Chains A and B, each alone.
Chain A
């Protein structure tokens, strides 16, 4: 009897180990397949004309590279100070268990879950139509800022809450004001987490397409002359090329986009680790 039970245990253990390992292999294989497939299909078509050439008979993604850069800069210029500022207010100036911060937290999580096409529609109705921006990078950038704002607030708030109370006390006990405590102790200690969340937000901007279709106009063949002019982004170019008879360019742009996103994620991890050294040692 006892022996049988023991055998069953061993069998169960082996089965579970096999199943979890198979699941891991399957998920890694899916990820690997996407990357390998995109690379194989597209890497041969990545060339100087596509990357940096003028848009003529042969298409180029130069307008998209600049458009993407502008969109990142606009969105971060708005969302980073507003998002970090809101998080500082929530953690340092209100009780973390107060109704206000609970409401903001729930709201932020809800906003983060809204499909991006809804943000796109909002941007279209407000910036393109009501405010008369027409299709523009600035309207798209502001819409993206609104989209990433809740994510930045939430993750910055988490980073600030992770800064031990003892450090704030230490600063106050040395005669520091609240402002000095926030700028000289709390924010530097949370810098790793904050920078990581900003870079991950850049990743979301780079991979966004639904918002931009409705707000920046997908003008793939013209360099944007100013932030008020319409434009395009890498993700939009992939969509445009594949639906307008440029499958090779679509594949090649996919490679560029994939590399960019992977690069951004590696950068986020590396910077987060570098800046977070001090606080980790405190644990």
Chain B
């Protein structure tokens, strides 16, 4: 715990127009851990992870106060290069969103954005990323085929590979398995556990078993506030707050 946090949020408030979606949020996220955000729909967990790579910038009428620091830099400070921020902070979305182009071109997308053009170099990145995402065996003979031909679970692992190809340091996962079958879900969970050796992972999930299976820390959100945050085993075995207990025992949400 004496290590410096990778992500530090201090007094963060976020508004969509007049609606206050995050209320005085404070959280430290440690390196090489899986941190899970749980809570009922509309409680702000997705909103918070989208502040980490400033995807909320795309939402009209979105306003943010307080401080969000990543590796010690305030990412909302003037002069922040959002492009480089998003290279460092990769994201996997709720629904797999591969581009309708070949598997190869999907994964080469971010490297090409950042100026890598040499084929030998791209080939290496593509193999490495696909291996990391556990998709190399299934995809190596069809790299030139359209990614839309993959199954839903394969598409999601492709999206993970695509994010890893940008060589990020942090990987944000926004309910990455909610559109997948149990077997594909299992594969993604194994991946998250493996990838934390190299990356810091923040995952939003509706599935509490998933949080207990893969995360080291868990934060419970309710109505835009973090009610409780701590070691996953503590949160689920002996929650300090009555509201957390009610939620994890299924009494609401």
User: In the assembled complex, which residues on chain B have CB atoms less than 8 Å from the CB atom of A109?
Assistant: none
Partner of A279, one of B93, B100, B159: B100
The closest CB in chain B to the CB of A185 belongs to B99
B193 at the A interface (CB under 8 A): no
A172 at the B interface (CB under 8 A): yes
Please measure, in the bound complex, the distance between the C-alpha atom of A278 and the C-alpha atom of B103, giving whole angstroms.
12
Please measure, in the bound complex, the distance between the C-alpha atom of A175 and the C-alpha atom of B146, giving whole angstroms.
22
Contact A281 B109 (CB under 8 A): no
Partner of A174, one of B58, B101, B110, B146: B110
B87 at the A interface (CB under 8 A): yes
A35 at the B interface (CB under 8 A): no
A36 at the B interface (CB under 8 A): no
Contact B97 A166 (CB under 8 A): yes
User: Interface centre among A95, A166, A167, A174, by most B CB within 10 Å?
Assistant: A174
A116 at the B interface (CB under 8 A): no
CB-CB under 8 A for A176 and B60, given A169-B97, A170-B93, A170-B97:
no
Contact B86 A172 (CB under 8 A): yes
Contact B99 A167 (CB under 8 A): yes
Please measure, in the bound complex, the distance between the C-alpha atom of A189 and the C-alpha atom of B146, giving whole angstroms.
13
The closest CB in chain A to the CB of B159 belongs to A170
- For the complex formed, measure the closest distance between the CB of A195 and the CB atoms of chain B, giving whole angstroms: 15
* B: contact size bracket: 20 to 34
A24 at the B interface (CB under 8 A): no
Please measure, in the bound complex, the distance between the C-alpha atom of A188 and the C-alpha atom of B101, giving whole angstroms.
9
B157-187, CB < 8 A from A:
159, 162-163, 166
Please measure, in the bound complex, the distance between the C-alpha atom of A73 and the C-alpha atom of B12, giving whole angstroms.
57
Contact A278 B101 (CB under 8 A): yes
- For the complex formed, measure the closest distance between the CB of B182 and the CB atoms of chain A, giving whole angstroms: 23
CB-CB under 8 A for A282 and B100, given A172-B55, A175-B87:
yes
User: In the assembled complex, which residues on chain A have CB atoms less than 8 Å from the CB atom of B162?
Assistant: 170, 174
Q: A152-195 CB contact bits vs B (8 Å, 1 = yes)?
A: 00000000000010110111111111001000110011000000
User: In the assembled complex, which residues on chain A have CB atoms less than 8 Å from the CB atom of B95?
Assistant: 166
CB-CB under 8 A for A281 and B97, given A173-B53, A173-B90:
no
User: In the assembled complex, which residues on chain A have CB atoms less than 8 Å from the CB atom of B114?
Assistant: 175
User: In the assembled complex, which residues on chain B have CB atoms less than 8 Å from the CB atom of A102?
Assistant: none
User: In the assembled complex, which residues on chain B have CB atoms less than 8 Å from the CB atom of A169?
Assistant: 55, 58, 93, 97
User: In the assembled complex, which residues on chain A have CB atoms less than 8 Å from the CB atom of B146?
Assistant: 277-278, 281
- For the complex formed, measure the closest distance between the CB of B108 and the CB atoms of chain A, giving whole angstroms: 11
Please measure, in the bound complex, the distance between the C-alpha atom of A95 and the C-alpha atom of B163, giving whole angstroms.
28
Contact B148 A281 (CB under 8 A): yes
Contact B97 A175 (CB under 8 A): no
User: In the assembled complex, which residues on chain B have CB atoms less than 8 Å from the CB atom of A164?
Assistant: 97
- For the complex formed, measure the closest distance between the CB of B93 and the CB atoms of chain A, giving whole angstroms: 6
Contact A95 B97 (CB under 8 A): no
Partner of A282, one of B109, B110, B148: B148
B201 at the A interface (CB under 8 A): no
Please measure, in the bound complex, the distance between the C-alpha atom of A164 and the C-alpha atom of B58, giving whole angstroms.
15
Contact A189 B93 (CB under 8 A): no
B84 at the A interface (CB under 8 A): yes
B151 at the A interface (CB under 8 A): no
Please measure, in the bound complex, the distance between the C-alpha atom of A195 and the C-alpha atom of B97, giving whole angstroms.
24
User: In the assembled complex, which residues on chain A have CB atoms less than 8 Å from the CB atom of B148?
Assistant: 278, 281-282
User: In the assembled complex, which residues on chain A have CB atoms less than 8 Å from the CB atom of B87?
Assistant: 174-175
The closest CB in chain A to the CB of B98 belongs to A170
Contact A170 B99 (CB under 8 A): yes
The closest CB in chain B to the CB of A168 belongs to B58
The closest CB in chain B to the CB of A177 belongs to B83
- For the complex formed, measure the closest distance between the CB of B247 and the CB atoms of chain A, giving whole angstroms: 29
Please measure, in the bound complex, the distance between the C-alpha atom of A185 and the C-alpha atom of B105, giving whole angstroms.
11
Please measure, in the bound complex, the distance between the C-alpha atom of A175 and the C-alpha atom of B84, giving whole angstroms.
6
The 8 residue pairs across chains A and B that have the minimum distance between CB atoms: A278-B100, A281-B148, A175-B87, A166-B97, A175-B86, A173-B91, A174-B110, A170-B97
Residues of A at the B interface (CB closer than 8 Å) are 95, 164, 166-167, 169-177, 180, 184-185, 188-189, 277-279, 281-282
Residues of B at the A interface (CB closer than 8 Å) are 53, 55, 58, 60, 83-87, 90-91, 93, 95, 97-101, 109-110, 113-114, 146, 148-149, 159, 162-163, 166
- Given A167-B100, A174-B162, 9 other A-B contacts at CB below 8 A? A170-B97, A170-B99, A172-B86, A173-B91, A173-B93, A189-B100, A278-B146, A281-B146, A281-B148
**What would be 6 A-B contacts, judged by CB atoms less than 8 Å apart?**
A170-B162, A173-B55, A173-B86, A175-B110, A185-B99, A189-B100
